Amino acid sequence: GDSVTQMEGPVTLSEEAFLTINCTYTATGYPSLFWYVQYPGEGLQLLLKATKADDKGSNKGFEATYRKETTSFHLEKGSVQVSDSAVYFCALSLIQGAQKLVFGQGTRLTINP
Amino acid sequence: DGGITQSPKYLFRKEGQNVTLSCEQNLNHDAMYWYRQDPGQGLRLIYYSQIVNDFQKGDIAEGYSVSREKKESFPLTVTSAQKNPTAFYLCASSMRRQGFNQPQHFGDGTRLSIL
């Protein structure tokens, strides 16, 4: 079945460090890929998305490139801030008449000043 | 501002009780979804609805029920048949556009606990 695997957390970094959160997927078709962020006690917010191979999604300094050859969608940011502390979810969606998101287990990120 | 409103934010249930979680959206979205989130895990789909008066089971529908009588509303009932209901419940909505995967917009969630 379709699935998403994220690097296990928690991840702890210092402010201004470089961030990578790995995400790989398994899907029978050609999925769209998403990164969502969840701040404490809140719902999920869409961070970025990519709908086809080689697309790069970007937002708020975060980037992720849809790599079909490695079935990956790694999240990166060049210089993290304390305010980036949150849980990050990678997800895929297949066009099957109904949009059903399949989520990874989430990666908790903590940025220390 | 348009968005999704979930209520209440915290809910407590006694053993053997049914409880209903509210989800309302003013985004004019056709599709709505309910997810369950457990600590350290991703989200799992409970039910979803693409149009009014129609809904489908997700991956973990047992012990839950829904209705979709209005476009704006998609309440979730956690029945006494759900043996482990303690979790964080998230409602989401999205546009339906043929051939495209529209991102889902989420509410702030309801945390359900058993007394």
Residue A95's pLDDT is 64
Residue A112's pLDDT is 96
Q: What's the CA gap between B5 and A101, in Å, rounded?
A: 20
pLDDT per residue over A5-37, tens digit each? 998 889 999 999 999 999 999 998 888 999 999
pLDDT per residue over B44-94, tens digit each? 999 999 899 999 999 999 999 999 999 999 999 999 888 899 999 999 999
Interface check for B90 against chain A (CB to CB < 8 A): the answer is: yes
SS3 A82: helix
How many Cβ atoms from other residues are within 10 Å of residue A29's Cβ?
9
- Both tokens assigned to A14: 């210092």
Residues of B in Cβ contact (< 8 Å) with A97: 50
Is B58 close to A51, i.e. CB distance below 8 A?
no
Most confident of A2-6, A98-102, B93-97, B98-102: A2-6
Residue B62's pLDDT is 96
Give CA separation, A21 vs A72, A90, A110, A113, in Å: 11, 9, 12, 20
Give CA separation, A34 vs B15, B56, B86, in Å: 38, 23, 27
* Strands of chain A, DSSP E: 3-6, 11-14, 19-21, 23-26, 32-38, 44-50, 56-59, 62-65, 75-77, 86-95, 99-103, 107-112
Q: What's the CA gap between B93 and B48, in Å, rounded?
A: 9
Interface check for A105 against chain B (CB to CB < 8 A): the answer is: yes
Pick left, alpha or beta for residue B68 (phi over 0 → left; psi -120 to 50 → alpha; otherwise beta): beta
Would you say residue B100 has pLDDT above 80? Answer: no
Task: State the pLDDT confidence band at B13, using cuts at 50, 70 and 90.
Answer: confident
Q: How many CB pairs under 8 A join A and B?
A: 63
Torsion on CA atoms B59, B64, B70, B71, rounded to nearest 10: -20
Interface check for A57 against chain B (CB to CB < 8 A): the answer is: no
pLDDT per residue over A58-81, tens digit each? 999 999 999 999 999 999 999 999
pLDDT per residue over A41-53, tens digit each? 888 999 999 988 9
